[in-house]
Structure 1
Amino acid sequence: MDELLRPASIIRTITGEKKPEVDFLRESRAQGRSSNAEPKPNAGHKPPTSLEDALEILRHEPDYDSLIAVLAFLFRHKPDGASFPSIKLPSPLSAQLVQVLVSQIVPNYWTLLLEDSHQTKDSGLRLLLYCLASSTGVNAALVRLSALIQEAKSEATARTKRPDLCINLGIILDLLCRLVQGDGWLLEAYRAATSSADGPARVKPRVQEIVTTFGNGRLISMAAEAEATAKANGSNKLIGDNWLADPSQYVEWLGRNIAKLVSSGMEPEQTKSVSGLFVKALHLGHPEKLIKQLLSELVLRPHCDAKDFKTLLGHLPQSEQRKVLFSVLKLFSVEHLDRLGRCDAASTPTIAAVAGALDGVLGKDENGRRHLVEWLTASSGAGLGDGVGIRRAVMAFMSQNKDDLVNVLEKSLSQFGDQLYIKHSPMLQQEAHAQILLLAAGYVHRLTPIKLSMLLRSSVWLNAISNRLAAPHTRARFLGMVVGEALSGLVDKGDKRLSFKMEETDQDEGKWYKGLTEVSDEIGPLQPLIDSRADVPRPKKREAPRKPVTRPAPQPPQTGFIIEELSDGGGPEEDDIVPYAKPDSDPEDSDDDATLVRRNKPKAPVYIRDLIKYLRDTDSYDHQKLALTTAPTLIRRKAGYGTEVSEHAEELASLLVGLSDKFETKNFDELRIQGMIAIVVAKPEKMGQWFAKTFFDGDYSISQRASVLVVLGLSARELAGLETSDYAAAASFPSKTLPERAERLYLGHSSTTQPSSSLKPLPPNALDNIATSLTSAFLAPLAATAADAATGPDILKLSTFTSRLTDDQTSSPSNPKVKYKSQPRAKPRLRAIPNNTAHLLSTSFFSPLIARFQAALHTAGSLSSRTGKTILFHPYLLALYLKTLALLLHAAGPSTLALPHMTAELWRLLLSTGVRAQAVGDLSVIQAVLFGYVALLDVNEDRMREVCVELGREVVEAVEWVAGVFGGLRGGDEGGEEERVKALAAAVLVRLREGVEKYRLLLIGDLIGFG
């Protein structure tokens, strides 16, 4: 009977809880380790002597000790003259061994292998992973994972409810994630595939299999599908750290492996296959992260040689090489040069280091230099929106070849004076090309002065200056004058120098532009880039503390006795005695568990560095709440005192933009937006451009990008004096206000200063409410005129139509049924704004938004163009973007010197093909476009004649488009959205046709040939 009493299972108790990091690649590096370090099989089990014996043992359900003996044999067994075990070399027998290990051994022994990995260093798990660490092993795991997914999705499996499927899914997925860990995995797989003496006809398919397996994204899709299938069946706990399902982490891992593979001393001919893998990886998503990883590993590390990156780049197709090179320039600009601003003398080593990096990456490659010439002179190139540092670095690299410099100078000058370019290109783009022209002229003058002299005597130069001076835009004329004076100062002497004697050219900006001709950067060492990369602090992983639990105060026990306090009816003199108020109960102090009572509550931050510290602490509810509630007042209070805000403005803004509502804080979005508004109001010239750049370049969601637009619109109106923030009064220092008791004594309850507790949050549709009010003001006179033409004078009908219009257009944000009513009043005259504020809104808010939108549309060849265009043309985001531009134009007002330029930019943007295509069938985009015309017509009410002269063709085209919109809307639903949009289209059409009829003669030239 003893043979029948066998144990059904063996339970092993492991005391350690920490999950080990299995680095099986270390085994391959230690090829020559001593035999006593290898795992020894149990003496009671006969070890295999050949691969056939090992396969036979594995097929017949071996016990654990026999399995370890087989894995140890597979680890040691190498053919004669081979540097890798037999199981890693491609052969039919090794494929069968891998298949048995994945399909039979792993599901049965995985838990036991994980438990034993805590006790021994050379465990069975390490041996198993090493045996499967090849492209054959990865493909076998993928095939098994695909079969399990199909079984889990089948209808028969859904009826039977097999619990083992999800368990096996989790096991194979965990195996796959552990199997490909390590930065040298691809290098080991490549060496194993090419280690045999087979000819190229057999080696090439093996290498191509590695490229296909890891470059087509199958690992990502299979891992994500397996995780989704397991979660759909309610088995979330069976899935561990599934990093393969994250494309960002996978691309970074692939970048590190490609760098390790390229830097291993491969022959140039062998690098072609790696370049093919690089091309495939670029299309997996997150190409910037991939290129950044390769730059960090191959170029920006100490004692590394950039020739490896040069070799990798040289084998790419020309189109991919161009995209990668442009992305490299963008990364250098964002990571190292943009923070230098206008690049003073202290910035020269960093610029020289970037030029040195470009020299190491490209060298004397003609194709690469041709791509750089295109980047410098193309209509959408030259680092649009980036600082001047990247342009200086590229010009320093190009200065090694005189022919390239002359080519850049001639193309830049020809483009600078082109009339269509001056009229239609964004001003941000024209500024970048003007900087390129000045830098190129300085380099050419130092190398061949006669060439610059001949160029300034040509008709191209004379036409360029003439066209610039005749431009309708003030900024275009300023650039023409600056370039003319700077280049003439290089060639002409004495009285022959060109001088316009304008105040703008002699100010700081004009002097800075003219000083670009004297800039002479050189190619330097990469040490500044390496040092700046090493100074970046790495975030530390911290355990998230628990959110404080608030419990109600304990109630006293009911004893059955009632204690009643009797009053003795004190006299009137006792009324003057004011008793102390009872202290508020602290629910945290009344906690049952004394260990949970918190005595060290955080205090509100009083310095900007403390505010940043609180915002970074995303695991603390108290810090996040205190930072959000105090940020608007603290930033406004510190704006005019010291340099705290100016030094940390970008860091604060980036933290607030990317902050997520992890703890579901009350009024989270409103407080976050108010904090960003405070930053913009504190430093508008700098932060307006930063937020405009972040909207297009940042890796943010649609809601976060929408909040950036809301911040720009509201802060611009506050700067223009059209809106008043309650936080401005709350942020005033106590020295500027009376004490609270004195304020009540002298001012009573009608104090103009409100405490911070009375501040009201922003409604979620703040910009929409402002747009609605402006639309109502625009439509009111037209409604009154229509009523007068139909039934009588305005004095009898204005009140009725105004109240009806207000009822239709304006409603309470909290209750749409509650209508606001307003008294009839004449249209208020727009207040004239000081020129400095109008200039600020034009250059720091409006122009960057317009220029970057046009640049995003023109850069169709960029690596992230598809994602960028998808986000930009999202209906909600596009409508909000157009409304923001209209509000910025309205906030600048009619007294803006740059109003003609702003009007032309916005008018052409509303008529662009991309915007009108998105407006088809989408009422929100149509309404936003019509509101843009409302703002244009309202601000340009007194200069409609100039608009018809400058934008005659655009005005006629706008009339045709609005008429088509009006005719295509049915309306009829009183108070509905379509009815409101049709009424708005009618009003815009009436105003446009009034201008066309009044200035018909001016438009005759533009009407000829219009179709």
Structure 2
Amino acid sequence: MDDFLTPVSTIRITDKKEAEPTLVSSQAKASTTPSGRSTPASPEDALDILKQQPSYNELITSLRFLSRHHSDNEVPSIKLPSPISAQLVQVLVSEIVTNHWILLKEDAGDSKNSGFRLLLYCLSSVTGINAILVRLRGLIQEHKAETEGPGKLKRPDIHLNLETLLDLLENLLKGGGWILEAWQTAKASNGSDAVTSAMRMRPRVQEMLSLFGGGKIVSLAAEAESIVKANKTAKDNNCEVWVADAQQYTMWLGRNIATWQLSDAALDSPKFVSDLFSKGLKLGHADALIKHVLGELVLKKGADPSRFGLLLSNLPPTEQRKVLFSILKLFSSRYLDHLGHCDSADSKPIVAAVAEALRSIIGESGSLKNYLVEWLTSSSGAGLGEGVGIRRAVLAVVSQSRDAIVTVLEKSLCQFGDQLYIKHSPMLQQEAHAEVLLLSAGYVNRLSPVKLALMMRTSVWLNAISNRLAAPHQKARLLGMWVGEALSNSVDKGDKRLNFNTEEEFEEMATRYKSLTQVSDEIGIMEHLFESPPLALSKKKTDSLKAHQAAQAASRPPSQPPQTGFIIEELSDEEGPEEDDLVPYAKPDSDEEDSDDDPALIRRDKPKAPVYIRDLIRYLHDTDNYDLQKLALTIAPSLIRRKAKYGTEVKEHADELAGLLIGLSDKFDMENFDDLRLQGMMALVIAQPKIMGPWFAKTFFDGDYSISQRASVLIVLGLSSREFAGFEASTYSTVAAFPSKTLPERVEKLYLPQNSSLYPTPSSTSLKPLPPNALDGIAHSITDSFLAPMAAEAADTATGPNSLKLSTFTSRLNNPEKVRHITRTKPRIRSIPNIIAGLLSSFFFTPLISRFQAALHSSSSKTRGILFNPYLLSLYLKTLALIIHASGPSTLSLPQMTAEFWRLLLNTSVRAQAVGNLQLTQAILFGFMALLDVNEDRMRDLCQEIGGELIEAKDWAAGVFGNLRGGDEGGEEEQVKMLAAGVLVRMGEGIEKWQLVLVGELIGF
């Protein structure tokens, strides 16, 4: 084999002293080893050796010398800032790493004396990181200059050097104590004089803050990574550079902050790490940073939460408030949301443990306690959309101070009865504040019953109940009734107690609210937080499943042991006449499994269809098996619907199943993948609307999903609301029927045509996949039905506006032959039962719009990025419009839904996003159209309740109509203009008819 390898050239690196003996000075000769290799005696000698292209042995010798550090300063540390150390680091980064990195990595090992470890030690300083970043920036600029200029690249090795530097930076920053070590090194070089040390330390601290907290490392590393990946094939691009990922870098920063805070340096210089933590919150992953630091300093056995409190107390006031509110949200989502709204014995230890964690973090800080009071009483606080558990935990902490809990009660009562608050606040927000009011009233009643009794004799209490009972919205009135009864039962006696005789439909909810005054949580121990609640829940589910399987196994008869050998049985011919009634199965025309001639290719291990929900979850978890994924997606809609009313399988596993379906990706490019996934999620919503409606709404805003996955959530809610209202009928609803509810085949033929069946199979051709724009198609059909009567009237009225004449409307409706036959009176929207309408209002519409209102006031860039994505925002508005349209005019909460959605459509931020965006403009107009359609018989009430908003919406629609040219028949701009014209005409008719009612509203408008 050696004959096949012919060396092209041979290069031998010799020592300088052997090649040029006449040029070696006497000083160099004095510092040579017996073997003739150079041995540096000072940092200057090491610098000379490194500059002259040293051999690998000379490099190791120099690195070993530079790694030594003596306290007598004869050999100063290379980590200390000095002119000579800066030159050494520069040479190591620009020359040594470029030429020897591969050899050094091969020499990497556990030994501290390996060349790789010695190099990392010499560069593990702020000076070393800065040198690497300067080198990266220079190579990036050189790459840009050469690619943008004429000609080919002059340096084709730039991407190789960038890859080497990124690898070096990754290995250099590994570990959680890097920043602490760098700070201790910088502090050790300042001397013993306190004044001089402080003066020297200040600029170094600022340099470290700007370096590690300013995002410089992430930005340069990400830019360099993009250049490296552009010069690699797709096969080689699998490895990710964690330094270039902002989220992973934030986690690294969190580990370093936690290590610092646990050390003695946190007590000596607490301001530095707080400033670093504050800068880290601005890197774009504040929640991840807070979660990691909190987990290391608080949610770990043996942790000292006061260390986190010390870190929090040194932050600026605005940052303290932001971090504290994020901690409350984290505690709620991780520990308390699954508790629900009950005051069970199982919930008290968890709530007490969270309260203890909060108390330990806050300590004696008065400002942090005030932030808790603000969180409970602010117009956008109290944990919107979260369970009552977090409010119980916060009030348990606040109740330790009598003045603080009384302040919460007084502010909550004033806010609860404010007319503007009742009229404009989302109902989900009002429910949260009602819970705070009742819980705080219970604490005040136990601490000082006289205080609560006197408060209920004031005008504030009387006005609050009066304003609530006079509210136009049903849920606002109900809250006033429940709060009034609960507090009256706590103070009054006998016949003086209020009793509004709540309807039976709301009895369960009323009982839950009134029981909150009896809830009393105490400060407990934190051991319950060290185990994640979801694990405990899954364990309970597993135990119940095992018990169920054991019961089934016990009920089944014991199986017979298998018999070995052949069994020959002789059948008698006497049973022949009885076999005449047996009709043999027809032979199938073809069988895909047996279509291949080779029996070895026939599959005999095809999976069976899942029968239980847990089997369906197991199939969906196996993302590498095509057969299981395909079978699970095909069976999921019918299986979920079939199990909805039989047992508790769907209810127990709804959250997990929904999370799997949302996050499922089309790995195998399946046919109708999106349709099957949407049908599965719709089946969950239909099966458990009270659970899955709020869950999907929360997932849309808080979940870590892509734009397409969030869009699928909105589509599911919109289509499910249409199915609840009876506008759409899913064939899976008949497939899900149990066989016991079907007619026998012979009887079915007597009542049904020959080629029809009430119970088609999932593979039936009647099941058509959902189009990608399912909601858009429904919106177009509703728009056509809205504009059709006006088109017919315009056809008979020659004096109407040009935009409403027959020629324009027929081009919009694409049906010129039938427009003249459309009746002038539009068919009324069907009325659905109040139970379904209330379901859509409480569990579909309210969670979606309330979380949007809360997200508008959020400072999170991620949340605002989701809200103001044009596609998601337009789909979100259409979904709300479809839910209102599906609720119909018989909805008891229609006035409240109309007011909330109308103000959302007129929101300044929403309309600003619609400027120049036809898709979003059309969604806003469609929202107004749906509201006008549902409130067709309530125009007088609209003019009386939201007269100012009605005039503002009319002016905005007129501006949209005037700014669009139209003319492109069937084009998007023409469609938007026609929709604006229809909305404008309908609003104008209502305003003209009820203009006298608007006089009071328009005063001062």
Report the TM range for the smaller structure's normalisation. Answer: 0.7 to 0.9
Structure 2 counterpart SS, 1:515: helix
How far residue 118 of structure 1 moved from its aligned partner, in angstroms, is 6.2
Aligned residue for 1:264? 263
Distance 1:239 1:679 in 2: 36
How far residue 788 of structure 1 moved from its aligned partner, in angstroms, is 2.2
The answer to whether the 8 Å contact 2:274/2:312 transfers is yes
Question: What amino acid is the match of 1:983?
Answer: M
Q: Normalising by the residue count of structure 1, what TM-score does the alignment of the two structures yield?
A: 0.85
Distance 1:755 1:42 in 2: 90
The answer to whether the 8 Å contact 2:914/2:921 transfers is yes
The answer to whether the 8 Å contact 1:42/1:69 transfers is no
Distance 1:707 1:412 in 2: 38
Aligned residue for 1:468? 468
How far residue 49 of structure 1 moved from its aligned partner, in angstroms, is 3.7
The answer to whether the 8 Å contact 1:772/1:809 transfers is no
Q: How many residue pairs get matched? A: 919
How far residue 184 of structure 1 moved from its aligned partner, in angstroms, is 1.7
Question: Given the alignment of the two structures, is residue 208 of structure 1 paired with residue 206 of structure 2, yes or no?
Answer: yes
Question: What amino acid is the match of 1:609?
Answer: R
Aligned residue for 1:348? 348
Question: Given the alignment of the two structures, is residue 325 of structure 1 paired with residue 356 of structure 2, yes or no?
Answer: no
1:60 paired residue among 45, 52, 57: 52
1:8 paired residue among 7, 11, 36: 11
How far residue 308 of structure 1 moved from its aligned partner, in angstroms, is 1.0
Structure 1 residues 821, 972: CA separation in 2 closer, same or farther (over 3 Å shift)? closer
Cα RMSD (Å) of the superposition? 3.2
The correspondence of residues 78-477 of structure 1 with structure 2, limited to 5 A, is 78-80=70-72, 86-117=77-108, 123-155=114-146, 159-198=152-191, 199-234=197-232, 237=236, 240-345=239-344, 346-477=346-477
2:646 paired residue among 641, 649, 665: 641
Structure 1 residues 121, 637: CA separation in 2 closer, same or farther (over 3 Å shift)? farther
Aligned residue for 1:808? 812
Aligned residue for 2:3? none
The answer to whether the 8 Å contact 1:709/1:881 transfers is yes
Structure 1 counterpart SS, 2:300: coil
Distance 1:247 1:1001 in 2: 59
Aligned residue for 2:968? 973
The answer to whether the 8 Å contact 1:636/1:682 transfers is yes
Aligned residue for 1:846? 845
Aligned residue for 1:955? 950
Distance 1:205 1:935 in 2: 62
Structure 1 residues 741, 105: CA separation in 2 closer, same or farther (over 3 Å shift)? farther
Aligned residue for 1:1003? 998
The answer to whether the 8 Å contact 2:89/2:127 transfers is yes
Distance 1:600 1:840 in 2: 45
Distance 1:193 1:585 in 2: 73
Structure 1 counterpart SS, 2:158: helix
1:894 paired residue among 874, 889, 904: 889
Structure 1 residues 171, 239: CA separation in 2 closer, same or farther (over 3 Å shift)? farther
Structure 1 residues 440, 200: CA separation in 2 closer, same or farther (over 3 Å shift)? same
2:769 paired residue among 757, 761, 772: 761
The correspondence of residues 617-632 of structure 1 with structure 2, limited to 5 A, is 617-632=622-637
Structure 1 residues 912, 154: CA separation in 2 closer, same or farther (over 3 Å shift)? closer
Question: What amino acid is the match of 2:63?
Answer: L
The correspondence of residues 843-882 of structure 1 with structure 2, limited to 5 A, is 843-859=842-858, 862=859, 864=860, 866-882=861-877
Aligned residue for 2:940? 945
Per-residue deviation, residues 101-132 of structure 1 (Å, max 9, x unmatched):
21111111111122233697853212222222
Question: What amino acid is the match of 1:932?
Answer: G
Question: Which stretch has the larger CA shift, 426-435 or 912-921?
Answer: 912-921
Aligned residue for 2:496? 496
The answer to whether the 8 Å contact 2:944/2:1001 transfers is no
Structure 1 residues 524, 932: CA separation in 2 closer, same or farther (over 3 Å shift)? same
Per-residue deviation, residues 671-710 of structure 1 (Å, max 9, x unmatched):
2211111111110111111111112222222222221111
Distance 1:491 1:42 in 2: 99
Distance 2:398 2:180 in 1: 36
The answer to whether the 8 Å contact 2:788/2:822 transfers is no
Structure 1 residues 321, 807: CA separation in 2 closer, same or farther (over 3 Å shift)? same
How far residue 537 of structure 1 moved from its aligned partner, in angstroms, is 12
Per-residue deviation, residues 636-672 of structure 1 (Å, max 9, x unmatched):
2222222111111111112222223333332222222
Structure 1 residues 118, 90: CA separation in 2 closer, same or farther (over 3 Å shift)? closer
1:750 paired residue among 756, 773, 791: 756
The answer to whether the 8 Å contact 2:46/2:62 transfers is yes
Identity of paired residues, percent?
61
How far residue 850 of structure 1 moved from its aligned partner, in angstroms, is 1.4
2:693 paired residue among 682, 688, 704: 688
Question: What amino acid is the match of 2:762?
Answer: S
Question: What amino acid is the match of 1:153?
Answer: K
The answer to whether the 8 Å contact 2:792/2:819 transfers is no
How far residue 599 of structure 1 moved from its aligned partner, in angstroms, is 6.2
Aligned residue for 1:700? 705
Distance 1:577 1:601 in 2: 23
Which consecutive residues of structure 1, in runs of 5 or more, have no partner in the other structure? 11-40, 539-575, 793-797, 812-817
Distance 1:169 1:999 in 2: 72
Structure 1 residues 233, 588: CA separation in 2 closer, same or farther (over 3 Å shift)? farther
How far residue 878 of structure 1 moved from its aligned partner, in angstroms, is 1.8
Structure 1 residues 535, 303: CA separation in 2 closer, same or farther (over 3 Å shift)? farther
The answer to whether the 8 Å contact 1:478/1:505 transfers is no
Distance 1:728 1:372 in 2: 48
The correspondence of residues 574-589 of structure 1 with structure 2, limited to 5 A, is 581=589, 583-584=591-592
How far residue 336 of structure 1 moved from its aligned partner, in angstroms, is 1.1
Structure 1 residues 968, 167: CA separation in 2 closer, same or farther (over 3 Å shift)? closer
The answer to whether the 8 Å contact 1:375/1:381 transfers is yes
Question: Which stretch has the larger CA shift, 149-158 or 488-497?
Answer: 149-158
Question: What amino acid is the match of 1:751?
Answer: S
How far residue 491 of structure 1 moved from its aligned partner, in angstroms, is 1.5
Question: What amino acid is the match of 2:630?
Answer: K
Per-residue deviation, residues 768-827 of structure 1 (Å, max 9, x unmatched):
1111111111111111122223399xxxxx9x969x95773469xxxxxx9999985674
Aligned residue for 1:21? none
The answer to whether the 8 Å contact 2:734/2:759 transfers is yes
How far residue 959 of structure 1 moved from its aligned partner, in angstroms, is 2.5
Aligned residue for 2:573? none
Distance 1:194 1:882 in 2: 57
The answer to whether the 8 Å contact 1:358/1:397 transfers is yes
Structure 2 counterpart SS, 1:763: coil
Question: What amino acid is the match of 1:829?
Answer: R
How far residue 256 of structure 1 moved from its aligned partner, in angstroms, is 1.0
The answer to whether the 8 Å contact 1:167/1:238 transfers is no
Aligned residue for 2:783? 775
Distance 2:411 2:684 in 1: 40
How far residue 5 of structure 1 moved from its aligned partner, in angstroms, is 12
Structure 1 residues 208, 489: CA separation in 2 closer, same or farther (over 3 Å shift)? same
How far residue 835 of structure 1 moved from its aligned partner, in angstroms, is 1.3
The answer to whether the 8 Å contact 2:190/2:200 transfers is no
The answer to whether the 8 Å contact 1:255/1:293 transfers is yes
Aligned residue for 1:556? none
